[in-house]
């Protein structure tokens, strides 16, 4: 299968593509190295809000016209913001790629900030909807427990006062300092021609001369204190997360971490799922998770359970954590998890969208662009010793913070005592 090609323009803008000759579609994305981590408290949520405003039109294309153009192409246009990046991406028939590129480039480089106030209301509604869902917001409570007042501990979606009150000129300045060619990667996969996309990138790119660059990111806390944090809310379930620091994005142990996550709580055959849900019926949703950032990461688990099941559920979780520390994997579990992770990689890479995201994210964050066979070899190389070492580093006693949302703070704190590392808590 043909490999990827990379071109860096004089402006610093980078283009990466991967041809997939068997398809007639293309996936295209603009990846910008800016997210909630790069915001001050007064800017919290501007990256996410700006992502919305990119869709509200340019001097050449009104918002409704953008919708009609992509609908007319049968294309899918979307965007997303996370802690360290923002992406605008689309899938379309290969014949429509030049037209889609032209519109997307105009959105990314030259937003016109039309209809800003109605979109403020849309985002405020999104924040309200998000805050009404404890199964989502509990992860932000955990982020605050793990990272404290560091930007990594703040919600990506932002704060309502920032969205409501930030003037348009401040938002425009925020864009100009971050949406610069050296901060952007254009990625495409599928039925694509690299040289043609480079030409499109050269023709449509835009710079903001004389604009001071955005400040660098604040280093992650090296060893934050494990804490317990709780938000009281009248819910039918208690939503519980436990977690701590994980691996940074470029850590070579990330392949082993994916295998360990599959064994512990990432699969229907995983230990957590079987012990909490299948054997005892204590939860509908229970799983483990991992996340990686530039200089740190996060591991964690989630359980949603009724208040009368909370103590028993936490006892089972505690027992499974002990078992993980004593025996991270059996040989059977290790083989099954490696095969599962490999299959997910391969199946994902058969999608033009997944390949495009992999290309853009890897180049944006300076990760090696490994071919599928190379990734599979790294997963196959994961050993039992790798599992033991990771458990010692990531799931050691005293390293885990706990976060919860539910009706009774005292019962929550009593239930997680001995599982999390500290008795500190925050009520909100």
Could you write out the DSSP letters of every residue in 379-417?
A: HHT--HHHHHHHHHHHS-TT--EEEEEES-HHHHHHHHB
Q: What share of the chain is helix, strand, coil (3-state, %, to 5)?
A: 50, 20, 30
- Put the strands of the sheet holding 25-32 in their side by side order: 4-8, 14-19, 184-190, 25-32, 86-93, 76-81
Residues 6+ apart with CB under 8 A from 274: none
pLDDT above 90 covers a percentage of the chain that reads 90
C-beta atoms surrounding 212 within 10 Å: 9
Mean pLDDT, the chain, rounded, equals 95
pLDDT by residue for the chain (428 residues), tens digit each?
Answer: 448 999 999 999 999 999 999 999 999 999 999 999 999 999 999 999 999 999 999 999 999 999 999 999 999 999 999 999 999 999 999 999 999 999 999 999 999 999 999 999 999 999 999 999 999 999 999 999 999 999 999 999 999 999 999 999 999 999 999 999 999 999 999 999 999 999 999 999 877 666 777 888 899 988 878 999 999 999 999 999 999 999 999 999 999 999 999 999 999 999 999 999 999 999 999 999 999 999 999 999 999 999 999 999 999 999 999 999 999 999 999 999 999 999 999 998 899 999 999 999 999 999 999 989 999 999 999 999 999 999 999 999 889 999 999 999 999 999 999 898 654 444 44
Catalytic member of 51, 84, 144, 320: 51
90-139 pLDDT, tens digit per residue, is 999 999 999 999 999 999 999 999 999 999 999 999 999 999 999 999 99
The answer to whether 119 touches 105, Cβ cutoff 8 Å, is no
According to DSSP, residue 224 is labeled P
Residue with tokens 């990760």: 367
List the structure tokens of 169.
Answer: 């000129």
Q: Set out the domains of the chain in order of their start, with CATH numbers.
A: 4-204 (3.30.830.10), 228-416 (3.30.830.10)
Strand segments (E) across 165-293: 184-190, 228-232, 238-245, 286-292
By the 8 A CB rule, do 50 and 120 touch?
Answer: no
Tokens matching residue 41: 């408290």
- Count other C-beta atoms under 10 Å from residue 80's C-beta: 15
Structure tokens that stand for 359 in this block? 């290309």
How far lies 29's CA from each of 14, 357, 418, in Å?
12, 7, 45
Q: How far apart are CA 374 and CA 370, in angstroms?
A: 6
Taking the C-alpha atoms of 366, 21, 108 and 198 in order, what is their torsion angle to the nearest 10 degrees?
80
- Residues linked to residue 305 through DSSP beta bridges, in sequence order: 238
Structure tokens belonging to residue 397: 């006693």
Please give the pLDDT value at position 1: 40
* CB atoms near residue 295 (< 10 Å): 13
51 is catalytic: yes
pLDDT at position 214: 81
- 113 backbone dihedrals φ, ψ, rounded to 5°: 55, 50
Helical pair 372-380 and 254-261, crossing angle rounded to 10 deg: 70
């Amino acid at each position: 299968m043909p490999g990827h090609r990379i071109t860096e323009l004089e402006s610093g803008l980078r283009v990466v593509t991967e041809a997939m000759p068997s398809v007639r579609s293309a996936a295209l994305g603009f990846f910008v190295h800016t997210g909630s981590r790069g915001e001050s408290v007064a800017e919290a949520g501007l990256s996410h809000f700006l992502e919305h405003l990119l869709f509200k039109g340019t001097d050449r294309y009104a918002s409704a016209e953008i919708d009609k153009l992509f609908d007319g192409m049968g294309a899918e246009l979307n965007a997303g913001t996370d802690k360290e990046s923002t992406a605008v991406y689309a899938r379309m028939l290969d014949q429509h790629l030049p037209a889609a590129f032209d519109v997307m480039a105009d959105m990314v480089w030259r937003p016109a900030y039309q209809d800003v106030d109605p979109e403020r209301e849309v985002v405020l509604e999104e924040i309200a909807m998000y805050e009404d869902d404890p199964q989502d917001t509990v992860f932000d409570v955990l982020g605050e427990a793990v990272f404290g007042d560091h930007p990594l501990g703040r919600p990506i979606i932002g704060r309502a006062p920032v969205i409501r009150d930030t003037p348009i000129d401040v938002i425009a300045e925020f864009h100009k300092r971050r949406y610069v060619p050296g901060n952007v990667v254009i990625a495409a996969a599928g039925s694509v021609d690299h040289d043609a996309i480079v030409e499109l990138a050269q023709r449509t790119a835009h710079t903001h001369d004389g604009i001071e660059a955005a400040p660098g990111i604040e280093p992650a806390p090296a060893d934050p204190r494990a804490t317990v944090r709780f938000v009281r809310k009248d819910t039918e379930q208690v939503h519980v997360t436990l977690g701590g620091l994980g691996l940074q994005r470029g850590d070579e142990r990330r392949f082993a971490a994916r295998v360990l996550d599959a064994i512990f709580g990432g699969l229907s055959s995983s230990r957590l799922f079987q012990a909490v849900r299948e054997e005892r019926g204590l939860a509908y949703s229970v799983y483990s998770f991992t996340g990686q950032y530039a200089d740190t990461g996060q591991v964690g688990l989630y359980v949603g359970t009724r208040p009368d099941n909370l103590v028993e559920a936490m006892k089972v979780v505690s027992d499974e954590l002990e078992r993980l520390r004593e025996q991270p994997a059996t040989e059977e579990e290790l083989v099954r998890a490696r095969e599962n992770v490999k299959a997910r990689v391969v199946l994902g890479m058969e999608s033009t969208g997944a390949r495009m995201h992999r290309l853009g994210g890897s180049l944006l964050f300076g990760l090696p662009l490994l071919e599928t066979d190379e990734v599979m070899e790294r997963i196959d190389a994961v050993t039992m010793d790798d599992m033991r070492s990771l458990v010692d580093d990531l799931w050691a006693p005293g390293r885990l913070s706990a976060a919860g949302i539910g009706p009774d703070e005292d019962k929550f704190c009593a239930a997680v005592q001995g599982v999390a590392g500290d008795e500190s808590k925050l009520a909100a």
